[in-house]
């Protein structure tokens, strides 16, 4: 029997569920279709949200020839053949043939280049479908010729609408009594994927007894599926989205969200060392000097993962995650090195002041290397004021304390050490040394 997802594939926009921001009343795709003036575009979204279906609806609404290629199975030769066939089948005043390319992100640069001329001349109207960010995966010349539309996972209400449509309109299911007692597990397992929802329904109906009603509840769904096949591509868009949410939850001091996103990565099969590396980076970038122990704990968690392996390694990772999320935050070191790098790129290779240079030879000493250098440990408090930056930027300041208990103390100490000396204050001159401290 034909799969349920194929039996229920919509053929018009009125049958299409979801993506109302694109196909709802007054939405951009609907307006283009109604005006029969469709330009090339790329549909970007997760699996099972209707990208292929939408392309075929467009072709049918325009009454245009429809050619489809899979980037997995097609090369430059197949692309050129499809374009040639489209050019031959185009008639005067008829809409340009639609060339639909599934998984266009898998096309190489040369394959994508082969589309440019046909798209620019209007030989074909290109509709691409991708689960990956087109900004990274589609060449710029092709991207500039196509509008990008983002498709979203189906909402809970949209999935329930699809479920109702399936059990009431599908010839097979409507001929059987289908009792939906609970649907939470089905919605959870489908994860906004319409195809996955229909496949689950197909699986349950196929496994149901031939006599009597088809019962759908959480227990039936869970027992049939055994485990939740989470959507997580370690090399794809979701990988970057989830790690971004993880780091931002730590930065935003939300341990619950941070643990949730880490759990998503763990269940999706993410490399534990990748998680550990991100914790080390976060400890340096986001917690920083506000709590220097965070970096120690993150490094310890990284080391523990190596020593104890998996799955126990999730425990020190969770400990570090909670510690980082609940720690005070500071990015002063991160901003400081950024400002210093910017200055280096601006000013180039400024000479090191002579008194800071080492003098391993007699000639260097005669040239003034190390002359006048004050060894701080020879002075009270292990501090002696002197110039440490090149002459051209001697007053520059790169590190500015953030306001937290740890850095307030550091800031106060720097201000006390680098305050103008009494002789300078009396003469009205300022110290040539940088005034360290907070903004």
Name the band, by pLDDT with cuts 50, 70 and 90, for residue 221.
confident
> What pLDDT sits at residue 92?
55
Strands of 41-44's sheet, edge to edge?
A: 66-70, 98-102, 125-130, 41-44, 147-150
Q: Please state, as a whole number, how many other Cβ atoms lie within 10 Å of the Cβ of residue 305.
A: 23
Q: What tens digit of pLDDT does each residue of 380-389 get?
A: 889 989 999 9
Q: Does pLDDT of 50 surpass 80?
A: yes
Six token digits for residue 99: 């060339």
Q: What pLDDT, in 10s, does the model give residues 404-413?
A: 888 899 989 8
Residue 437 confidence class, pLDDT cut points 50, 70, 90: very low
Residue 428 scores a pLDDT above 60: no
The pLDDT, as a whole number, for residue 439 is 34
- pLDDT tens, 195-216? 889 988 888 888 888 788 888 8
Share the mean pLDDT of the chain.
Answer: 85
Phi/psi region, residue 230 (left: phi>0; alpha: psi -120 to 50; beta: rest), is beta
Mean pLDDT is lowest, of 25-34, 47-56, 74-83, 348-357, for 74-83
Query: Which of the residue ranges 53-57, 65-69, 74-78, 200-204 would you say has the lowest mean pLDDT?
Result: 74-78
With 50 as the cut, is the pLDDT of residue 326 above it?
yes
Of all residues in the chain, the percent with pLDDT exceeding 90 is 31
* pLDDT given at position 238: 63
CB 158 within 8 A of CB 131: no
Measure Cα distances from 49 to 42, 147, 341, 358, 405 in Å: 14, 18, 45, 66, 49
180 vs 240: which has the higher pLDDT: 180
Q: What is the pLDDT of residue 237?
A: 54
Cβ neighbourhood burial of 233 (10 Å; 0-12, 13-18, 19+): middle
- Candidate from 92-96, 179-183, 327-331 with smallest mean pLDDT: 92-96
Summarize pLDDT for 115-163 with one digit per residue, the tens: 888 888 888 889 999 988 888 788 889 988 899 999 998 999 999 999 9
**Which stretch of 63-72, 272-281, 291-300 has the lowest confidence by average pLDDT?**
63-72
Predicted pLDDT at 436? 39
Encoded tokens for 215:
């019962």
């Amino acid at each position: 029997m034909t799969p349920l997802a194929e039996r229920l594939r919509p053929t018009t926009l009125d049958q299409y569920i979801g993506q109302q921001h694109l196909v709802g009343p007054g939405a951009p795709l609907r307006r283009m279709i109604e005006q029969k003036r469709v330009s090339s575009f790329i549909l970007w979204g997760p699996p099972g949200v209707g990208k292929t279906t939408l392309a075929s609806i467009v072709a049918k609404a325009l009454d245009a020839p429809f050619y489809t290629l899979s980037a997995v199975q097609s090369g430059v030769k197949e692309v050129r053949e499809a374009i040639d066939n489209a050019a031959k089948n185009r008639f005067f005043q008829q809409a340009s043939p639609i060339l639909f390319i599934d998984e266009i992100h898998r096309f190489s640069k040369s394959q994508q280049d082969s589309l440019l001329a046909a798209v620019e001349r209007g030989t074909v109207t290109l509709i691409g479908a991708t689960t990956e960010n087109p900004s990274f995966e589609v060449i710029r010349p092709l991207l500039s010729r196509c509008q990008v539309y983002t498709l979203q996972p189906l909402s809970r209400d949209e999935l329930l609408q699809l479920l109702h449509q399936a059990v009431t309109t599908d010839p097979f299911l409507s001929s059987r009594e289908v009792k939906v007692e609970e649907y939470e597990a089905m919605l959870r397992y489908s994860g906004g994927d319409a195809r996955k929802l229909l496949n689950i329904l197909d699986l349950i109906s196929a496994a149901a007894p031939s006599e009597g009603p088809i019962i759908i509840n959480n227990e039936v769904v869970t027992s049939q599926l055994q485990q939740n096949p989470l959507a997580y591509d370690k090399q794809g868009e979701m990988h970057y989205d989830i790690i971004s949410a993880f780091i931002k939850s730590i930065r935003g001091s939300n341990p619950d969200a941070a643990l949730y996103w880490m759990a998503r990565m763990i269940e999706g099969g993410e490399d534990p060392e990748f998680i550990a590396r991100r914790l080390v980076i976060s400890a340096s970038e986001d917690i920083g000097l506000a709590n220097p122990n965070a970096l120690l704990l993150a490094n310890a968690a990284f080391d523990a993962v190596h020593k104890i392996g998996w799955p126990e390694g999730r425990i020190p990772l969770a400990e570090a995650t909670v510690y980082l999320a609940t720690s005070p935050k500071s990015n002063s070191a991160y901003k400081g090195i950024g400002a210093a790098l910017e200055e280096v790129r601006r000013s180039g290779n400024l000479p090191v002041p002579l008194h800071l240079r080492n003098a391993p030879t007699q000639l260097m000493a005669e040239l003034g290397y190390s002359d006048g250098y004050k060894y701080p440990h020879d002075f009270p408090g292990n501090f002696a004021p002197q110039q440490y930056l090149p002459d051209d930027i001697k007053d520059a300041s790169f590190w500015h304390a953030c306001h937290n208990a740890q850095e307030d103390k550091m800031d106060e100490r720097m201000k006390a050490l680098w305050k103008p000396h009494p002789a300078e204050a009396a003469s009205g001159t300022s110290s040539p040394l940088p005034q360290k401290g907070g903004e």
